[in-house]
Amino acid sequence: MLRAPMADRRGRTSIRAAAPLLAVLVVLAACSPPPSPSVAAPSPSADVTAAPSISASVAPPSVAPTPSAPPAETPASGAAQCEPADLKASHGRVEGAAGSRFTTVELVAAFACSVDLFPAFGLRDANGSVLVGGTAGGPGRIDLVAGLSYVSDVRLANWCADDPAFPLTFELFVGGATETVTGATSFPEDGDVPPCNGVAVGRILEATSWEARP
């Protein structure tokens, strides 16, 4: 009967001794700061390269070529075709330069009439043989005023042949006929034909359009 109470006393004594220790542990636990939340290290973000901005290549709209205007038509001449007998043609001084021979032809009509705007000239030798038969340099007609002078610059070049039989006859073609172009000397002058610049080209006899002399 005496042991039981002793054991009871020891147990109570142990409990009473442990109580202050538990109180201290509780206070320490209450005073301890809460544990910091575990923060996972951020995973490295994928390095995203933005796609290059590509501006659409816009070609300029296709523009149809503007059709060129048709050549202006030469108005119909109101004057009748000139006849050789109605005209007087003469040439001035003959000059040479750059392998060519030049002269200026003056044309005067006795009556109002019309001729080709671009004259055609020709050359014959002393025997009457045609040496050069020029062609008109362009289309059109021109009305000549009676008594007014009209001029055209003429060039002869590339004479790839023997010297012709002089004197030469210088002619103007007028409506299917010819009018002799007179001058103080022949055109070209005796023994002074231009040099040959190319056999394949042939002789050149060309003239500018008629223009009224100022």
Q: What angle do CA 89, 95, 101 make, to 5 degrees?
A: 80
CATH, domain range 84-212: 2.60.40
Tens of pLDDT along the chain (214 residues) come to 334 444 444 444 444 444 444 343 333 344 444 444 444 444 444 443 444 343 333 333 333 434 444 443 344 457 899 999 999 999 999 999 889 999 999 999 999 999 999 999 999 999 999 999 878 889 999 999 999 999 999 999 999 999 999 999 999 999 889 999 999 999 999 999 999 988 777 899 999 999 999 7
For residue 59, give both structure tokens: 């070609």
pLDDT value for 198: 83
pLDDT value for 6: 42
Quick one: which of 143, 137, 2, 16 has its CA closest to 80? Answer: 143
pLDDT value for 186: 93
Q: Which residue has the tokens 């045609």?
A: 130
